[in-house]
Structure 1
Amino acid sequence: MVVGAGAIGAACAEALSAAGVAVTVVDRSGPAAGTTGACEGNVLVSDKEPGPELELAQASRRQLPELLAKLADELGPELSDVEWEPKGGLVVGTTDPGPLREFAARQREAGVQAHQITAQEAFELEPNLTREITAAVHYPEDGQVQPVLLATTLLSAVRQRGGQLLSGVTALGATGKALVTDSGTIACDHIVNACGPWAGELAARLGAPIPVLPRRGLILVTTPVADLVRHKVYDADYVGAVASGDADLQTSTVVESTPAGTVLIGSSRQRVGFDDTIQVDVLRELAAKAIRLFPKLATVNVMRAYGGFRPYMPDHLPVIGEDPRRPGLWHATGHEGAGIGLAVATGRLLAELMTGQNPHLDPTPFRVDRPGLAA
């Protein structure tokens, strides 16, 4: 039983079904109704310090195109189109260039393609970029998918292999070898907790609490505009915001286009519980910072804004694997805003561990009983 039909739960279900495991996915709402449906679809290696999360991101980035090609053969092009765009990313600085260049150097040592380029080269990549930049790094490995399509494609593969998706079913707990839901008790050997920011609630019900918390983010969407932004572009402050554990509001500039021509503008991070109020002052700050990066955005209309909750862990690493306090319970959560880019490798790693295969990544840093998480 996989509880949660977002990108992480769908990736776990797909990898398990590919390994021959009989899988049922339950979700109290439906596919991609939570965090996955309220994010940008980032597939990034550019924003992660060298370490376990970067290694997970690199593995997932390598595996994603291979998996999509496999699913295209299995499902056909119509059911497998996730709007995958390996368009690359551009990180720019407008103040002291030293930290951005040092960060890129550390990433290069870890195998990331991080090309330090001149301001003129940055303008060639992004003609509408502000002329105030002092440093730029090009990351050709960065990409983007449509996150809802990614989740539904993975779930389509699960169903085609004989698995089930039960929408509108809430997991309440467990008894023996069975998941207890509001629609009845379902026998199973394993339960995968892939509930994103709500994973702590399910874990507590199952007697194995984990300290996952919701971290709120807001995104602006413009009306369609032609050729204003070509890559995923963000300022150097974004890396610091990702790694921060502050509860207070933090904003940094992330600007990118979609295949439909709209421009997505982020990003914000704030721990406010599950308060889903759209805060106009946050949207105003996002817009102002985006205009400083791309001045032509000042003439573009905003079409809508949306927000979502990301599963935040205190040590900034996801939890992937079996819970030693309750054998048969597996966690796959805590990816915060990187879940789309980490989903494929997360699903594969969990499936390898559950089926006794040699894991393609060291699972130790992601254990639920790791010292850093316990502290």
Structure 2
Amino acid sequence: MPDVVVVGAGMVGAACAEALSAAGVRVLVLDRGAPAGGTTAAGEGNVLVSDKEPGPELDLAIASRREWPAVLDRLPEQVADVEWEDKGGLVVATTDPAPLEKFAATQRDAGVDAQLITPADAFELEPLLTRKVTTAVYYPDDAQVQPVLATTALLAAVRARGGEVRSGVTVRSVLRSAEGRVIGVETDAETIPCTAVVNACGPWAGAFGTAAGAPIEVLPRRGMILVTAPLPESVRHKVYDADYVGAVGSGDADLQTSTVVESTKAGTILIGSSRERIGFDDTIRVRVLRELAAKAVGLFPFLGAVPVMRAYGGFRPYAPDHLPVIGPDPRVPGLWHATGHEGAGIGLAASTGRLLTELFIGLRPHVDQEPFRVDRPAVVGTGESS
């Protein structure tokens, strides 16, 4: 019998399962689809400290960036290549430089290595960048990982320690004792006894929380990405316009796009990003793709002559106060949540797994858990997600 059933085999669920298993906890991971087949597969693999304002999420991002190397070192040797790149990030302004310079200063005060550089320095880092740049900030700690490879590697580590991963299994409900404590899960195939359940269902975490008797306010936020044909080396870092930070932190339901451009090891260029709260509508909207393409060409003019190979999108788990939901649910003893990371789940996964494990086995948390509590008003308030 497993100690913990993790529901959701995306990056965050896999990171929680890996950290728990590394601490000696018996883990079973269940997913109604394939591992890494949902939000994780629709991401860019960013591990960023550059895009967050000072506060709890930035603290978690800094801790997670430090934690990722330790997680990678624990992976089985045969799956250790997850295309980790310490590529660094470059944020540029093409209009008034003051807001970006002020933002970088606040980040430096919070412990981020945010290096203000001149446009000439930016062109040295990215020779094909538009000459309209007025100022830039270089973030050497920004990194990238291939999200599907990383997730499957984390799950392989769980298996190597005696845990189990099952795909194509839908969890229908959480079973509780007469006192209300978790005693198992009911799937579409069987009943599985356990002492704890982790809700790592990403954008579907709100629905799962409702089914478990503990509704939480987690909503889907749609994002789109363009992928170019493979190219020789042309974009060396993750590069984005300064307005990306505002889009990340916005709660606006309407469409927002901002310029993000980065390469992959396969030679393709990923172009984003968009944010739109439209429920689980997965319609491809041409106007969104046009906005992404036009803004990318504005940042890197050479892209105007580069063919787009495909476009893809996904739903990101959004909490109204823009903070992840990590920890035990006081309404249902034995129910835990790890969700609400929106587009930052890949980068925040390492510390999310560690934090949940520390709380589960009674260790002192390496970051303050209070801002991510399940029972905060933004998460257990209106019930809109149900």
Paired with 1:250 and 1:324, the residues of 2 have a C-alpha distance of 35
Report how many aligned residue pairs link the two structures: 371
Question: In structure 2, what is the equivalent of residue 126 of structure 1?
Answer: 126
Shift in Å, 1:67: 1.8
Q: Secondary structure of the residue that 1:259 maps to in structure 2?
A: coil
Q: How do residues 222-233 of structure 1 correspond to structure 2 at under 5 angstroms? A: 222-233=228-239
Give the SS at the match of 1:202: helix
Aligned match of 1:255: 261
**8 Å contact from structure 2 (residues 119, 136) kept in 1:** yes
How far apart, in 1, do the equivalents of 2:165 and 2:377 lie?
35
User: Which deviations, in whole Å up to 9, do the C-alpha atoms of 1:280-328 show, x marking residues without a partner?
Assistant: 1100110000000000001111000000000000000000000001010
Give 1:220's aligned residue: 226
Normalising by structure 1, report the TM-score: 0.98
Choose the corresponding residue for 1:264, options 252, 267, 270: 270
* 2:104 counterpart residue number: 104
C-alpha deviation, 1:342, in angstroms: 0.1
Tell me what 1:139 maps to: 139
CA-to-aligned-CA distance 1:122-177 (integer Å, 9 cap, x gap): 00000000000111000000010000011000000000000001100001112220
Identify the residue that residue 198 of structure 1 maps to in structure 2: 204
Paired position in structure 2 for 1:18: 22
Q: Which runs of 4+ in 1 moved over 3 A?
A: 371-375
Give a deviation string over 1:173-210, Cα, whole Å, max 9, x none.
Answer: 12220111101110000000000000001000011000
1:240 aligns with 2:246: yes
Q: How far apart, CA to CA, are the structure 2 residues paired with 1:273 and 1:317? A: 19
Partner of 2:113, secondary structure, is: coil
Q: CA deviation at 1:69?
A: 2.1
Matched, 1:366 2:372: yes
Residue aligning to 2:12: 8
Match of 2:262, SS? Answer: strand
CA distance in 2, matches of 1:281, 1:362: 41
Q: Does 1:348 align with 2:354?
A: yes
1:38 pairs with 2:57: no
The AA in structure 1 aligned to 2:70 is E
Q: What fraction of aligned residue pairs are identical, expressed as a percent?
A: 70
For residue 167 of structure 2, what is the aligned residue in structure 1? 167
The within-5 A match list for 1:175-186 is: 175-176=175-176, 177-186=183-192
Aligned amino acid, residue 302 of structure 1: V
Find the aligned partners of 2:193 and 2:81 in 1 and give their Cα distance. 34
Is the 2:216–2:380 Cα contact (8 Å) retained in structure 1? no
Report the alpha carbon displacement of residue 374 of structure 1 after superposing the two structures with TM.
4.5
Contact map agreement 2:225 2:271 (CA 8 A) in 1: yes
- Contact 2:206–2:216, Cα closer than 8 Å, also in 1: yes
2:167 maps to a residue whose letter is: S
Q: What residue is the counterpart of 2:384 in the other structure? A: none
Secondary structure of the structure 1 residue equivalent to 2:71: helix
Q: How far did residue 372 of structure 1 move?
A: 4.3
The one-letter code matched in structure 2 to 1:319 is: V
For residue 107 of structure 2, what is the amino acid of its counterpart?
A: Q
What is aligned with 1:207?
Answer: 213
Question: Whole-Å Cα distance in 2 between the matches of residues 29 and 67 of structure 1?
Answer: 25
Is 1:29 matched up with 2:27? no
Alignment CA distance shift 1:372-1:274 (3 Å) = closer
Question: How far apart, CA to CA, are the structure 1 residues paired with 2:226 and 2:116?
Answer: 29
Matched, 1:67 2:65: no
Paired letter, 1:304: R
In structure 2, distance between residues paired with 1:262 and 1:154: 25
Equivalent residue of 1:130, what SS? coil
Secondary structure, counterpart of 2:74 in structure 1: helix
- In structure 2, how many angstroms separate the alpha carbons of the residues matched to 1:170 and 1:88? 39
In structure 1, C-alpha distance between the alignment counterparts of 2:186 and 2:74, rounded to whole Å: 34
Structure 2, unmatched stretches of 5+, are: 177-182, 382-386
- State the alpha-carbon separation in 2 of the partners of residues 326 and 106 from structure 1: 39
**1:373 deviation in Å?**
3.6
Residue number among 282, 303, 307 corresponding to 2:313 in the alignment: 307
Tell me what 1:332 maps to: 338
The equivalences for 1:287-306 within 5 A come to: 287-306=293-312
